[in-house]
């Protein structure tokens, strides 16, 4: 009895606050939340919204949550949503919230952590339906809505089967004026920093209509700048839009509608560390979906200054692909950062457009230095690998040792693959930045092939080293087949990705020091290319680094007690194996945290100069072998030439082979 009396008193106090003279301002938003107590049957959400201004009602039973209202200006929706498609199951109660923004005619609902957009933002012209007040409600029941709240005010803690809210109509202009005053007061009390989260927001917007007549040659339209909206210094406009003549040729209708929004918090899609700028523009043609325009629509956003280290991108909301979800995608738009307060978007379709800013970016602050290191390293590595190939070819002709003939092709394959990788990386970067975008259609697949080929050849080196270290009496199985695999196997994934399409092309790498991105021929930035990168590059690299690290441990255990590999010789030997086995590429998995810049420079230096280090390593190992051979006894010399490791593992097996019975 006392609990029911307390709930009734809360309801009375809430109504008094709503109807009191001090609350004469209209409600700019409406927010109703609660918890749905249901049964074990499959759950369903039913929504029916129609134009008018009577009110909004919620009903809930064992399996159905219903939302019905007559409060919109234009939106007319009737949906039945099976909640099991969202992963909601009857085992737990479901939390939900409803957001209504009368000026923008926008209705959103959050159910079980999923945000659903039921009415898209628009701009009502005259009357707005607002000031929803708690009306007559149904009695308590077993199933229904519990802990109902308007904003943070609890209406009741009982489980009720229904809630009704009565609405009233008011002029939309008065709502906009009220929002303007609230926004300016908030700026005076606590100005919002340029890159920080949005303030209370300015929900007002305006609509502009344009007729495309015969001979249409394009059209410019601008939004109205607002005081304190961050529209750029003295620009007089927050958003400028140019519609190209191609729109008239691609459209069956001649009427284009532009709707400009500013500061609408319900446009945010909740991604952490990503922030949508205040201005949003909607461009539509009546009763038609417009895509793949031959000439792009140009949208210029003037905004507060964005620091260079914050990455920005033009995004659009495709309401036709996923009508219930607010998903801002970069597909179909090109971003041009004119300066720190001006972003231009070139888009080939019509929908909602905005600028998305990464609040916690990870920019390449030293891209110029890294690029110079990479290009210099690739040039030196290419020359070194060619010299190494000449050296190995001479060694092949001079040697009559069969075991050496089995091991040299393995080293030849690695040197050839690294030479190809270094050459293509150098050339594709130059081609892309020289403006030859069409060349990337064939240069990018070749570069990917060279990278995979180098990884496979490094894997062959790992297997070869393990084989000769632990099975010295058994010859290495057909080395030419392994080399053939190193150059043939990568053709399969690259060929599949080329057939799939939209994977390879021109890639932009943004940097913090300048607004001009570095261009390269590589995989594009889209879901298909990202998936291909994970399943080819990262998977193969992880296997290579893991296998190389394991074999390094086994080789170290085999030679750590050998006197001839003590001190500096052992260090040189292990460093040579680290590069030979490709484990230096494992630094790619350590690129995070405060030492990320150090790791990035180390990764770039070691792997771009890998061909040079391999040549030096082969030369040092050969020099060490010659010194050991000169200092060894004549009896040891008779068996020392039977090694099968060429120059990288010359004496690791010497002692073992000398004790092996000769046939």
Nearest to 198, CA basis, from 279, 130, 129: 279
Angle between helices 440-470 and 479-488 (to 10 degrees): 150
Q: Note the pLDDT of residue 97.
A: 92
Angle between helices 596-608 and 367-398 (to 10 degrees): 30
User: How far is 181 from 225, CA to CA, in rounded Å?
Assistant: 15
235 φ, ψ (degrees, to nearest 5): -75, -30
Nearest to 487, CA basis, from 456, 510, 521, 518: 456
- The DSSP letter of residue 213 is -
More confident residue, 68 or 662: 68
Q: What is the pLDDT of residues 493-516, one digit of tens each?
A: 999 999 998 899 888 776 654 555
- The DSSP letter of residue 319 is T
Structure-block tokens of residue 510: 């943004």
Quickly count: other Cβ atoms within 10 Å of residue 41's Cβ.
11
Q: How confident is the model at residue 205 (pLDDT cuts 50, 70, 90)?
A: low
Q: What is the pLDDT of residues 41-64, one digit of tens each?
A: 888 999 999 999 999 999 999 999
3-state secondary structure of 481: helix
Q: How confident is the model at residue 185 (pLDDT cuts 50, 70, 90)?
A: low
Q: Note the pLDDT of residue 554.
A: 80
- The DSSP letter of residue 533 is I
Q: How confident is the model at residue 364 (pLDDT cuts 50, 70, 90)?
A: low
> Which residues, listed in sequence order, are joined to residue 164 by a DSSP beta bridge?
57
Percent of the chain with pLDDT over 90: 21
Mean pLDDT value across the chain = 77
**Could you tell me which residues come within 8 angstroms of residue 58 by beta carbon, excluding any fewer than 6 positions away?**
32, 34, 65, 66, 67, 98, 145, 162, 163, 164
CA 471 to chain centroid:
46
**Could you tell me which residues come within 8 angstroms of residue 251 by beta carbon, excluding any fewer than 6 positions away?**
212, 285, 288, 290
Domain spans in the chain, listed from the N-terminal domain onward: 2-175, 204-358, 367-658
Q: Note the pLDDT of residue 47.
A: 94
Structure-block tokens of residue 42: 């499959």
Q: What is the pLDDT of residues 272-311, one digit of tens each?
A: 667 888 788 989 887 788 888 889 999 999 888 887 667 7
> Which residues, listed in sequence order, are joined to residue 436 by a DSSP beta bridge?
none
What is the CATH code of the structural domain delimited by 367-658?
Answer: 1.20.1070.10
Q: What is the pLDDT of residues 565-610, one digit of tens each?
A: 554 555 556 556 666 667 788 887 887 666 777 888 888 888 899 8
Tell me the helix, strand and coil percentages in the chain, rounded to 5. Answer: 40, 25, 30
Contact of 157 with 190, CB cutoff 8 Å: no
pTM: 0.54
162 φ, ψ (degrees, to nearest 5): -160, 150
Q: What is the pLDDT of residues 474-499, one digit of tens each?
A: 666 676 777 788 899 999 999 999 99
Sign of CA dihedral 73, 75, 79, 85: negative
Burial class (CB in 10 A: 0-12, 13-18, 19+), 297: buried
User: How far is 72 from 52, CA to CA, in rounded Å?
Assistant: 6
Domain 204-358 maps to which CATH number in 2.60.40.2470, 3.20.20.70, 2.60.220.50, 3.40.50.970?
2.60.220.50
């Amino acid at each position: 009895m006392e609990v029911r009396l307390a709930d009734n008193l809360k309801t009375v106090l809430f109504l008094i606050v709503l109807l009191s003279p001090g609350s004469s301002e209209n409600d700019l938003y409406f927010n109703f939340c609660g918890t749905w107590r249901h049964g074990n049957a499959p759950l369903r959400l039913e929504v029916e919204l129609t134009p008018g201004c009577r009110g909004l009602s919620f009903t809930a039973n064992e399996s159905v949550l219903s939302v019905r209202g007559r409060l919109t200006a234009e939106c007319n929706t009737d949906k039945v949503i099976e909640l099991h498609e969202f992963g909601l199951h009857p085992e737990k109660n479901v939390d939900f919230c409803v957001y209504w923004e009368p000026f923008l005619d926008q209705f959103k609902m959050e159910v079980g952590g999923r945000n659903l957009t039921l009415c898209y933002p628009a701009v009502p012209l005259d009357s707005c339906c607002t000031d929803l007040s708690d009306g007559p409600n149904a009695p308590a029941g077993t199933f229904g809505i519990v802990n109902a709240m308007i904003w943070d005010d609890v209406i009741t803690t009982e489980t009720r089967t229904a809630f009704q809210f009565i609405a009233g109509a008011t002029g939309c202009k008065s709502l906009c004026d009220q929002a303007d005053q609230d926004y300016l007061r908030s700026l005076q009390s606590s100005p919002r920093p340029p890159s920080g989260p949005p303030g209370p927001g300015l929900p007002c917007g305006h609509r502009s209509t344009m007729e495309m007549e015969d001979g249409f040659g394009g059209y410019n339209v601008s939004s109205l700048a607002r005081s304190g909206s961050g529209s750029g210094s003295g620009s007089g406009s927050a958003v400028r839009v140019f519609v190209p003549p191609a729109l008239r040729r691609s459209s069956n209708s001649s009427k284009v509608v532009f709707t400009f929004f500013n500061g609408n918090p319900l446009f945010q899609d909740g991604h952490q560390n990503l922030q949508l700028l205040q201005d949003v523009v909607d461009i539509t043609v009546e009763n038609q979906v417009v895509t793949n325009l031959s000439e792009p629509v140009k949208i210029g956003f003037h905004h507060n200054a964005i620091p260079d280290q914050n990455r920005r991108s033009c995004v659009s909301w495709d309401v036709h692909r996923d009508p219930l979800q607010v998903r801002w995608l970069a597909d179909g738009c090109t971003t041009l950062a004119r300066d720190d307060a001006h972003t231009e978007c070139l888009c080939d379709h019509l929908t909602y457009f905005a600028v998305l800013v990464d609040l916690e970016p990870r920019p390449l602050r030293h891209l110029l230095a890294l690029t110079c290191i990479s290009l210099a390293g690739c040039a030196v590595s290419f020359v070194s690998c060619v010299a190494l190939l000449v050296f190995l070819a001479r060694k092949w002709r001079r040697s009559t040792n069969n075991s050496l003939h089995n091991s040299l092709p393995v080293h030849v394959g690695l040197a050839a693959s690294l030479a190809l990788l270094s050459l293509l990386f150098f050339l594709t970067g130059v081609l892309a930045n020289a403006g030859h975008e069409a060349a990337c259609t064939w240069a990018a697949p070749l570069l990917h092939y060279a990278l995979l080929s180098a990884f496979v050849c490094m894997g062959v080196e790992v297997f070869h080293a393990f084989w000769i270290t632990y099975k010295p009496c058994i010859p290495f199985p057909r080395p030419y087949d392994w080399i053939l695999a190193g150059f043939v196997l990568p053709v399969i994934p690259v060929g599949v990705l080329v057939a799939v399409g939209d994977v390879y092309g021109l890639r932009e790498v943004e940097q913090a020091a300048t607004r001009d991105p570095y261009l390269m021929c590589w995989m594009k930035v889209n879901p298909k290319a990202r998936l291909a990168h994970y399943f080819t590059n990262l998977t193969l690299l992880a296997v290579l680094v893991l296998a190389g690290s394991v074999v390094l441990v086994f080789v170290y255990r085999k030679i750590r007690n050998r006197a001839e590999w003590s001190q500096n010789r052992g260090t040189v030997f292990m460093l040579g194996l680290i590069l030979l086995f490709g484990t230096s590429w494992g630094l790619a998995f350590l690129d995070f945290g405060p030492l990320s810049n150090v790791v990035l420079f180390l990764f770039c230096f070691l792997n771009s100069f890998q061909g040079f280090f391999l040549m030096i390593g082969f030369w040092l190992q050969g020099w060490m072998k010659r010194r050991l051979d000169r200092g060894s006894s004549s009896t040891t010399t008779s068996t020392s030439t039977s090694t099968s490791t060429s120059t990288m593992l010359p004496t690791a097996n010497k002692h073992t082979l000398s004790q092996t019975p000769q046939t």
